[in-house]
Amino acid sequence: MTYRVCFVCTGNICRSPMAESVFHARVAEAGLAELVTVDSAGTGGWHEGEAADPRAASVLGEHGYGTEHIARQFQSSWFPRLDLVIALDTGHLKALRRHAPTEEDVRKIRLLRSFDPSAGDELDVPDPYYGDRDNFEECLEMVEAASTGLLAAVLAELEGRTA
């Protein structure tokens, strides 16, 4: 059975596509592409149908990650088919919790940086949209750091399913 992860930010053009691309690469490197699906969405539909922000795509490409992306808005109806919904900041976390149909769905929602032990109490990935290229690089660093712990958590879940 496939394990499904969806990353969620505001407009699905910066942070969540970066997280999707990085985690997709981690999943592939671990040989889990057949077992784990990765996608992303935004809490709002302002950018639906658009590609990732050019700065996000540029930073991803320069670091060897995929850049193909089409923005879409997260739908509450997706919860039943998802195993993990990863919010990029506390605003997204709160919005997702408000729209989760059941308590079981609420338990699927986690902050990305909660998987990074070095994050401490700073669990938000700041929105780079109004910043410059350095902000996108910083976002990528945070996403990469958290992806290691996230992959370990997903692996533990997968092992638990087969035990």
9 catalytic per annotation: yes
Catalytic-labelled residue, pool 15, 55, 110, 113: 15
Report which of 34, 29, 138, 36 is spatially closest to residue 86, judged by C-alpha positions: 36
From 4, 72, 97, 127, the catalytic residue: 127
Q: Which residue has the tokens 């060897």?
A: 64
Are 29 and 62 in contact by the 8 Å Cβ rule? The answer is: no
81 is catalytic: no
CA distances from 158 to 14, 38, 67, 128, 131 (A): 28, 15, 27, 33, 38
* Amino acid sitting at position 41: A
Question: For 148, what's the count of Cα atoms within 13 Å in the CB-facing half-sphere?
Answer: 9
Q: Which one of the listed residues 6, 9, 14, 139 is annotated catalytic?
A: 9
Is 127 catalytic? The answer is: yes
Question: Strand locations in the chain, DSSP E?
Answer: 3-9, 36-42, 84-87, 109-111
Give the catalytic positions in this structure: 9, 15, 127
